[in-house]
Structure 1
């Protein structure tokens, strides 16, 4: 029998995170490093007679680097040309070395870090690793009686801690660091960790020449990468297949992303006079007016071309990165937007890149570019408009139903799962919030704006964003549920208020909650 989970380790988990900040300064939009949004000491206690029986979460991967050498290389090419023309201000001369340092950090990201298999762009940063380690520790600290009971009973009444992820490295690694942290604080849980087999081999039903692609255990693209299901890997032809509707919704969404209708909505801020004003305010601090004037009339552009070789400080890793030329800066607005992207990503790379990119992005301009990114995400990933009829989130319905299916199993007496842990991306967290009814679409005639809408990427899906359901049961087998969104006690959709166990309570009767959502299969 494994040693029981000690309450002293739970206390340690709580102590390690008690001083964690509840907010992060800066306008980094969905690149905002994670901070829990409520002090755990203020969580409501469950009603008398109820004990925790299960918990589940879905979490975005932690803080990461850039996903590829694109805008950074294009902006560096622009800087090099300005340097060759002696067209840099004193502050601008400092920008180039900082961009190059950021590129090097991304090219080597994860080198020497146990648990990172392949260093390079797109990996978790040290901040991102710690975000998930602390998230796991706070989960243990929040539900000590659940995990103590699970650990003590592991030999006689085994229950599973089911872990799944999207299959993308940063989501897989977030799962790895999260579960490592669980076991450091609670070694008795080790026998309970379980990576279920991936859904049956896909693609299916195309031609005999197409071989099904087997995914590793623990991967579920249909739940956690549904925004980008691909015919090559995920094709589903059989309408009776449980993932048919999700695949169809994913294909419909990807078609919608390419429509002129969507891009007209997303591109609206770029047509406003504020775009040119903010671009000039950012860039004239770095480049001479004559150099910037070369953009007029499309006379010049800069792309992510060329090769760069970087070697780690210990000399053990050398990587050569070559741009593909697909990211092109053709305007002042494009240049300033790319600089904002570097400013935002650098917030989660403070251990890897000591450069302070806020020097190049004044606060008022950072707020503006965050608002533009929010505008784009609201229409592309968020609730969008009533006219879009859920196109931007219907592929996340299967993920929502997976939450209900887990609690349904408990209600039916199936206690095999003590927890279900899912690791995904912003492109799933944001649509899930809409599928849960936590966000509302706008009428087609109303345009999204910061002034009129509370929707913010930094609160909807910061890095390591998460939704968690804690499930409690009493002696009469009644189940109640609490929703934590970024670790803040959060109401379910307004139409479910009648399922609260008492007016204003954060606990919901599961039977009423299930009826409120209809527990409908994704369709």
Structure 2
């Protein structure tokens, strides 16, 4: 069977990754540059729209203890980078831009904004709103190739024993397509796997639980909880938001026109904050569409937001994601208790392999941020361990939660299972970085990333003792 050489994999990883994203938003100025292509580096401000990068060099993974061999792998992956869900933000801004152009109210930089937005909207329409972009396909392809390189012995065993590979998704187009891209890349890396890949199936209760029956209580809370609404409104209504909105809009429109927006003259377009958020939203989705940009060099929408303003709107987006999907309030688990169905499935698959009742060699799941973020909180993954006290709003200063590291595009959680005799060990990768299980779970040795399955059952309360 053809395998991709490890040297090629590592070289590709180094080329694609450059430097790893920080878990906390750094402080940058206008002159900070990205080490890969010398573009402005304020990627922390993209929040959960951040494009995927693997979290660890494959050469640095710990080896399995002596005598243990891989017997199973499973994951859950967010879909890859995608086009925006609709054209609403672009349409709103073009309405304002066309009016400002007619009245001579554009700045010199703002004259470029309308054509830039129209070109981006055309590219997204061509891809299909909400669909995987070229970058998204690259992200999933790369993740699959690295899985094949990480577990060549397991893939050989799967082929030898004729074990199945199960592909399951939420049923939403971008999740389905992510599964297709992933499995195509996996079978290209090892063609002998192709007849073992089962037909892709849909399980909304498992991978779209925020919209299924299991999420009914959550949806009611999201719609009706006054504490949630007032907390988010309090964050958005800060003077810093108005100041950032004015900074953003005055890069595009002359001050008098910005004041008219703020005064609500253009009611169909909302106010200044609404318009500035629309600029931020286009800025946020632009990296996902890089492959579709002219010459593949990007859309350069970062020209329209100073780093401090992009960071502020990124913070507001993080706050919304944190409260609505993540650790949220310290006295409630409503945002993440419904993710137990997915964690339970992880354990069921491992236990089936251990007990000899499972016939799978791999279980591959494809879903959305609405599932990944609560699962990270439920599992106590890095960055998702600290809820907010009811009277102390979430801030970057006192909470490690960042959308860019918790749930970027194509984010993934993977469990690799190893066996020696009757003993089964699990290693977890979070965005392809070896990651410890939550506090209270004991690895087989200090500093090890390998955990006995029985210990994980105890730690997560799946056994009586």
Q: How does 1:8-407 map to 2 (within 5 A)?
A: 16-17=12-13, 19-21=15-17, 22-23=19-20, 25=41, 26=43, 27-109=45-127, 120-151=128-159, 153=160, 157-195=161-199, 218-229=201-212, 247-248=213-214, 250-259=215-224, 260-302=226-268, 329-354=269-294, 355-387=299-331, 389-407=332-350
Question: Which stretches in structure 2 are left out of the alignment for 5+ residues?
Answer: 22-40
When the two structures are superposed, what TM-score results if normalisation uses the length of structure 2? 0.90
For each residue in 1:254-297, what CA deviation from the matched residue of structure 2 results, as whole angstroms up to 9, or x when unmatched? 11111232221222222111011111111112111111121344
Asked whether 1:516 is paired with 2:459, we answer: yes
Structure with the largest fraction of helix: 2
- Cα distance in 1, alignment partners of residues 300 and 2 from structure 2: 42
Size of the aligned set, in residue pairs, is 434
Q: Is the radius of gyration larger for structure 1 or structure 2?
A: 1
User: For 1:408, which of 346, 351, 359 is the aligned residue?
Assistant: 351
Q: CA deviation at 1:299?
A: 3.0
- Cα distance in 2, alignment partners of residues 346 and 373 from structure 1: 16
Question: Which stretches in structure 1 are left out of the alignment for 5+ residues?
Answer: 110-119, 196-216, 230-246, 303-328
Q: CA deviation at 1:169?
A: 0.6
SS of corresponding position for 2:70: strand
SS of corresponding position for 1:164: strand
SS of corresponding position for 2:221: helix
Tell me the equivalent position of 2:377: 434
Q: CA deviation at 1:39?
A: 0.7
Q: CA deviation at 1:23?
A: 3.0
Asked whether 1:448 is paired with 2:394, we answer: yes
- Cα distance in 2, alignment partners of residues 36 and 8 from structure 1: 17
- Cα distance in 2, alignment partners of residues 265 and 43 from structure 1: 41
Q: Aligned pair in 2 of structure 1 residues 137, 80: CA closer, same or farther (>3 Å)?
A: same
Q: CA deviation at 1:10?
A: 6.7
For each residue in 1:26-68, what CA deviation from the matched residue of structure 2 results, as whole angstroms up to 9, or x when unmatched? 2211111100011111111111111111111000000000011
- Cα distance in 2, alignment partners of residues 301 and 357 from structure 1: 25
User: For 1:502, which of 426, 445, 461 is the aligned residue?
Assistant: 445
Q: Aligned pair in 2 of structure 1 residues 7, 96: CA closer, same or farther (>3 Å)?
A: closer
